[in-house]
């Protein structure tokens, strides 16, 4: 007789039931096992990674057979795509300068932190600082109907201790695909690259894919520390390379913020102090402006600022971030160190006095434009020094005394040292316009002097 197959069947069934009872759980139970260091880094950092798109104004020219002549018209078209990182909860973003070059408008899609608000919202943004030589830019997000933040943000780390061969993660928004994560290692340090006329020896090279649209996104180590800003510079150079990407080191990004992220420039208020970076990166008072809020505070050049409103500021970068906080208040308490001793000093926070001082001392007010080098006169006080010099709205003030006037920041610094009765040499460029269209054909340079009041 043939042996019965039934015992074998029962044996297999019993094994199946036993193994089924002890097999690993479903996806939800397995999630903690799969949530490795890379997943945790992405989950923690992704809300602060933004997508950036720009529009550009271009001139379209065509031949019109009706009038037998060429016609032209300005219109707006899609510009570049890129990524960025929110580094301050009040809505300040770091990205690459080439992402926003030639942009007529900048639109940033951010993850939103308001309870009950949308998961993402597209906001307009304005450039706060652009450093073409370093291919870096700082943007300020403009308020929306949903509110003004706070926004999810990442703390900027350091890059001086990055190790060759360590694992890194790059985040960004390439090719309109949405948030994209790539992984690799640091494959080179201190790479020499050219950006325009500037040559740098400190780029980080990685083998994580960094494509157009990834530019401006963060490069992170496996602890989640933000160590660099991705840039697709190699792709823009039209060089074909596999497994080669570059990132701007975080220490260079810190330097840009420390140099340019000034309270008076960013939020239009100030405490009347100029700071510089000390030997160990600390914030040191460089200048106490004679007409600024801190003039009677007792602060001196060389004082080291250790705290802002009890918040530690170990570096100039930390000081800059603390002083632009939207909720800073009408007075700020600085914890300073002088000669090994520490004390607190209160300083008022005031609106910039540029227009008031210029109107009083020079008899005119002016403004600057981000894409224009010089001060554009917008008003002249009747009977004042500017009118006696025959200044007129539309004139471009190029120099005052020996100071070059690139923007209202230069004007404010100059006004700090002007007293009634001072003779001030002035160089003006007056626009020459076409009579019919009003189009500027060029500028005529005029020189003179005025007596400050």
Q: Out of 88, 98, 173, 361, which one is annotated catalytic?
A: 98
Question: 362 with 424: CB under 8 angstroms?
Answer: yes
Question: 209 with 182: CB under 8 angstroms?
Answer: yes
Give residues with Cβ within 8 angstroms of 343, minimum separation 6: 335, 336
184 forms beta bridges with 168
H helices of 151-302, where? 233-236, 250-260, 263-266
- Known catalytic residue: 98? yes
Q: Out of 45, 51, 90, 135, which one is annotated catalytic?
A: 135
Supply 64's token pair. Answer: 């019109």
Q: Which helix (H) or strand (E) holds 413?
A: helix 408-415
Question: 292 with 271: CB under 8 angstroms?
Answer: yes
Q: At what angle do helices 316-323 and 250-260 cross, to 10 degrees?
A: 50
Question: 196 with 133: CB under 8 angstroms?
Answer: yes
Q: Out of 215, 221, 318, 361, which one is annotated catalytic?
A: 215
Write b or e for each residue in 323-359: b if 16 or more Cβ atoms lie within 10 A of its Cβ, otherwise e. bbbeebeeebebbbbeeeeeeebebbbbebbbbebbb
Show which residues are catalytic: 98, 135, 215
């Amino acid at each position: 007789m043939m042996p019965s197959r039934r015992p074998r069947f029962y044996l297999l069934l019993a094994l199946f039931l036993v193994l089924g009872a002890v097999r690993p759980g479903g996806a939800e139970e397995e999630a903690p096992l799969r949530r490795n260091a890379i997943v945790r880094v992405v989950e923690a950092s992704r809300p602060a990674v933004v997508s950036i798109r720009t529009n550009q104004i271009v001139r379209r020219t065509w031949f019109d057979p009706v009038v037998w002549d060429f016609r032209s018209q300005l219109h707006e078209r899609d510009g570049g795509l890129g990524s960025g990182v929110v580094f301050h909860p009040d809505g300040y973003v770091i990205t690459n300068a080439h992402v926003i070059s030639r942009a007529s408008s900048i639109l940033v899609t951010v993850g939103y932190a308001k309870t009950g608000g949308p998961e993402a919202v597209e906001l307009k943004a304005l450039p706060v600082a652009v450093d073409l030589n370093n291919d870096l830019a700082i943007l300020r997000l403009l308020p929306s109907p949903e509110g003004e933040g706070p926004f999810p943000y990442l703390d900027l780390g350091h890059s001086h201790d990055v190790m060759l061969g360590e694992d890194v993660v790059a985040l960004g928004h390439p090719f309109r695909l949405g948030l994209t994560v790539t992984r690799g290692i640091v494959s080179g340090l201190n790479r020499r690259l050219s950006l325009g006329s500037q040559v740098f020896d400190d780029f980080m090279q990685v083998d994580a894919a960094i494509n157009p649209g990834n530019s401006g996104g963060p490069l992170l180590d496996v602890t989640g520390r933000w160590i660099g800003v991705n840039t697709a510079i190699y792709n823009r150079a039209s060089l074909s390379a596999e497994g080669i990407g570059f990132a701007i080191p975080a220490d260079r990004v810190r330097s840009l913020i420390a140099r340019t992220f000034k309270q008076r420039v960013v939020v239009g208020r100030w405490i009347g102090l100029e700071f510089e970076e000390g030997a160990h990166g600390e914030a040191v008072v460089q200048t106490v402006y004679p007409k600024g809020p801190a003039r009677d505070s007792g602060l001196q050049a060389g004082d080291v600022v250790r705290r802002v409103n009890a918040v530690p500021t170990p570096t100039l970068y930390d000081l800059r971030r603390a002083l632009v906080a939207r909720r800073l208040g009408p007075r700020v308490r600085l914890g300073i160190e002088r000669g090994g001793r520490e004390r607190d000093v209160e300083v008022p926070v005031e609106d910039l006095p540029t227009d008031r001082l210029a109107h009083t001392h020079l008899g005119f007010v002016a403004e600057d434009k981000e894409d224009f080098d010089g001060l554009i006169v917008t008003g002249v006080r009747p009977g004042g020094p500017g009118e006696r010099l025959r200044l007129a709205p539309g004139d471009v003030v190029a120099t005052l005394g020996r100071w070059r006037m690139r923007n209202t920041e230069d004007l404010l610094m100059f006004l700090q040292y002007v007293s009634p009765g001072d003779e001030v040499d002035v160089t003006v460029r007056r626009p020459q316009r076409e009579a019919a269209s009003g189009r500027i054909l060029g500028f005529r340079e005029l020189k003179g002097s005025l007596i400050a009041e």
